[in-house]
Structure 1
């Protein structure tokens, strides 16, 4: 099996799919991966059913993985950025980075730290295989 990209995405409630996809595309461009498929989106379990998130994943034919809040905490050390506000809410400095790493599974690596655009944060990780 080849390595796959995972998009870790943090959103505020009510965020539109277009905003999510714009942030994802910007993260891919910054990482030098424009146009690459992101077959898995990972986000907080509490945001996985948001209409915008579901629509964004469907638009990219991506599997949508809901990461429980408590599962994010194990990835704190691997996160490249940190938001004090997010850390106080979720116990991890970057939901997007921790979700990307959790979604990538064991051996996953962060390939693009969190970027923020308006109501969305996005980070990219690669699966080990």
Structure 2
């Protein structure tokens, strides 16, 4: 299973979500994952409906358990991990998941996305 992890600011629009998702190669994803406090955001719900993908809500504890190559002090302070997109993708993909695409960002900086896949090894 390939999962697109997504992070975004409250002011994000659909265009920014699309841009980050596509830049990460999101068309291969079978689900979208994000922090549980963002999973019900209307803009993300609309984006998931547009892509016909389920949204997986990841707890803060699950996010904090992930080691990410990208390190954002702001995200670390809020979620206990360096990248919400990377951590959500890894947590949702399951044990032994690996990043396929590290965090990508929309040009306006309001959306991020990363892809992870469960390792079969």
1:83 corresponds to which residue?
72
| Paired residues of 1:73 and 1:91 also in contact (CA < 8 A) | yes
Partner secondary structure for residue 48 of structure 1: coil
**Total equivalences in the alignment:** 118
Partner secondary structure for residue 97 of structure 1: helix
Gaps of 5+ in 2: none
Q: TM-score, normalised by structure 2?
A: 0.89
| Paired residues of 1:8 and 1:97 also in contact (CA < 8 A) | yes
Please point out which of 44, 69, 79 is paired with 2:35: 44
1:62 corresponds to which residue?
53
1:20 corresponds to which residue?
17
Structure 1 segments, 4+ long, off by >3 Å, are none
Q: 1:93-112 maps to which residues of 2 (within 5 A)?
A: 93-112=82-101
How far off is 1:88 after superposition?
1.5
Gaps of 5+ in 1: 29-34
User: Is residue 127 of structure 1 aligned with residue 118 of structure 2?
Assistant: yes
Q: TM-score, normalised by structure 1?
A: 0.84
How far off is 1:66 after superposition?
0.5
| Paired residues of 2:34 and 2:88 also in contact (CA < 8 A) | yes
Deviation digits for residues 21-45 of structure 1, max 9, x if unmatched? Answer: 11110111xxxxxx74311100010
1:31 corresponds to which residue?
none
Deviation digits for residues 35-72 of structure 1, max 9, x if unmatched? Answer: 74311100010100011111111111111000011211
| Paired residues of 2:11 and 2:110 also in contact (CA < 8 A) | no
2:3 corresponds to which residue?
6
How far off is 1:128 after superposition?
3.1
